[in-house]
Amino acid sequence: MSTAIKLYNFPKSGHAHRIELMLSLLNLPTELVLVDLAKGAHKQPEFLAINPFGQVPVIDDNGTVIADSNAILVYLAKTYGQGRWLPEQAHAAAQVQRWLSVAAGPVAYGPAAARLVTVFGATFNTEEVIARAHTLLTVMDRELAKSPFLVGDTPTIADIANYSYIAHAPEGNVSLEPYANVRAWLARIEALPGFVAMPRTAVGLQSAD
């Protein structure tokens, strides 16, 4: 039997949480390796040798090293997903790719950026990133009126790529209250066997809970 997959992560990183969640949903043995972003560990030579971009997450699957959360999701789905998490059919596969692009674009520059302001003190234009988040959530809510998951009736890596920062949007002062379909979708993911949550941070709207 293979040894555990090493996941280089940081607990408050939604990008890293995507992979921790996927590994858990796949029931794969995992060894978490903390990369302390607050202390600049991701910019040290030993980590840059693993990922020259200096970002988490990275996995080491018994010598196969993959960086970038969306790339890792594709790898895990192809290697261990038994066809369940990344469809082969062309149109469905394209829809998954569309949502991976959303995770890397509108999510990163909307709810993820808004959370970076409150959790990490990033210097984005707060009104602008919150407005972007609501534009995204409006579209997502409309899309999720058509199906329980982002691509059809079963979860795919599209859902996992988008879950973490949407679920934690209130930490960046982005309310999920107007988006009933989005909230129902989050609950469906949280009900999946093997679900693991990302630690919540008591900031933004989350501080009132």
Residue recorded with tokens 């059919």: 89
Residues of the chain with pLDDT under 70: 1-2, 120-122, 203-209
> Is residue 92 within 8 Å of residue 151, measured between CB atoms?
yes
What pLDDT shows up at residue 36?
79
- Helical ranges in the chain per DSSP H: 14-25, 45-48, 69-80, 90-102, 108-109, 111-120, 126-143, 157-167, 180-190
pLDDT at 2: 60
Q: Write down the pLDDT at residue 1.
A: 47
Q: What is the pLDDT of residue 204?
A: 64
| Under 8 Å between Cβ of 65 and 59 | yes
Indicate left, alpha or beta for 3 from its phi (over 0: left) and psi (-120 to 50: alpha).
Answer: beta
Buried b (16+ CB within 10 A) or exposed e, 42-53: beeeebeebbee
Q: How big is the chain, counted in residues? A: 209
Q: Sheet harboring 5-9: ordered strands across?
A: 30-34, 5-9, 58-61, 64-67
User: Domains of the chain by range and CATH?
Assistant: 5-80 (3.40.30.10), 90-208 (1.20.1050.10)
Q: Count Cα atoms within 13 angstroms, Cβ side, for 152.
A: 15
